Amino acid sequence: MDLGKPALDARHTTGRTALAAATLLAASVVLAASAQAADPGVTDKSIKIGVLAPFSGPASVYSKAANMAMAIYKDVNAHGGINGRQLEIVSADTRCDAATLQAVIRKFVEQDNVFMISGGSCSNAIIAAKPLIEQYGIPFVTINAASAKISEPPVRNLFHVKATSDEQADAIARFVASNPEAKTIALAATSDEWGQTSIATVKQALEKDARQAKIATNQELDPKGADPTPAIQKVMAVKPAVTVVFAYPQPMTIFLKNARPQGLTGPIVTGDGTRPDEQATRLGSRAAAENFFSIFGFAAPFDAPSHDNYKKLFAKEYPKLDWDSVALEGAVSAKFNVEILKAMGNNVTRDNFIRTAETTTVESISGPLKFSPFDAKNKLTRRPGIHPNFSVLDPKATGTQTIVVNSWSDWLKAKK
């Protein structure tokens, strides 16, 4: 019995040693998994998001979309955060400058250690930063920049959450083509890069139209709002059934103020740089803004009750800023980010964000946002599939209420 005792103790000792080793191994596996899951900007209590926008400079009006996004993130925190984590926001001003935007991205990644980046209102700046964004591999979700070159060619970690300039141009071409009377078309756009790039894209889309409607003239407008009468007269000389005009709010106001009294009362179609209700207010005249259709990236009219909560959030955080569709655009991107972060659960890694964004459909005020697994040869894998509508003053109202239409037949039905 005594001789067997040491052997028995050794067996017990060996068992305890094995158990301890197994426990240590399991602990190391858990620690390794935790370390793997803890990407930069992520703790047990927070997720850090970098928000960039042109908060100053000539394009600062477009930063309201980023303001809206930050108001939503703050509201998410007030309601408990996402899967137990608060959203920590770091913001920076890009001034719509390419070099500044790239410096901000470097700061976000190398100094602030953000988990992801949300923002971008200036297409040219984002396009210039694409190689840097790809190099870092950090999830970058745009807000309200529209150039097709942002997602063409696509970058795996860069998600373009807005209908692109190409998609807007195609929508305008389809809308014009849906009007059987639109045999002759006139074009006009401000002479700046945005105006000329936009009208060139629309012209190309119109020329693809199987009906081959004739583009009779293409006029330039002064982006600073100089008298557009010479251009208007040349447009009127071709007697267009539809006129497509690209101009920011101020030059558009001057164009409409001069065009309508001179007899250019037919339908005018534009991009998303301004809205008919906005123009009616600026002009002080509903009549001057009637029959004016603008690209509209939302399913419901601007003043629809479905947007009231966003309006209240924006007013609460930014009482000195005007509420408009630029601000509303920020709700689309922020909603997408929040829903993807929720769907990730506790596996909060950058790679999982990308994979979750590729496989999760998010319902938004612009309609369903749906991406797909990355394909370097397919630009559509980084576009959300938004089909733009058009905003126009409600023909049955007397104020600035608007309706949303998708085709000329929709408009004719609305007028009955």
CATH of the domain at 377: 3.40.50.2300
In a domain, 268, yes or no: yes
Same domain (yes/no): 132, 148: yes
Same domain (yes/no): 111, 67: yes
Residue 170 has pLDDT above 90, yes or no: yes
Q: Length of the chain, please?
A: 416
In a domain, 5, yes or no: no
> ∠180-186-191 over CA atoms, to 5°?
145
Q: Is 276 helix (H, G, I), strand (E, B) or coil?
A: helix
Question: Are 94 and 125 in contact, with CB atoms under 8 Å apart?
Answer: yes
pLDDT tens track for 275-284 = 999 999 999 9
> ∠157-164-372 over CA atoms, to 5°?
40
Question: Are 182 and 213 in contact, with CB atoms under 8 Å apart?
Answer: yes
Residues contacting 85, CB < 8 A, separation 6+: 42, 43, 44, 45, 46, 47, 348
Q: Give residue 251's pLDDT band: very low, low, confident or very high (50, 70, 90).
A: very high
Same domain (yes/no): 312, 228: no
Tell me the one-letter amino acid at 242: V
- The domain containing residue 79 runs over which residues? 46-163+305-382
Distance CA 349, CA 157 (A): 12
Q: Give residue 6's pLDDT band: very low, low, confident or very high (50, 70, 90).
A: very low
* pLDDT (0 to 100) of residue 211: 63
In a domain, 11, yes or no: no
Same domain (yes/no): 118, 157: yes
Distance CA 384, CA 366 (A): 10
* pLDDT (0 to 100) of residue 273: 87
Nearest Cα to Cα of residue 119 among 47, 66, 58? 66
Same domain (yes/no): 62, 159: yes
Q: How many domains does the chain have?
A: 2
In a domain, 37, yes or no: no
For range 368-374, the mean pLDDT:
96
Q: Give residue 35's pLDDT band: very low, low, confident or very high (50, 70, 90).
A: very low
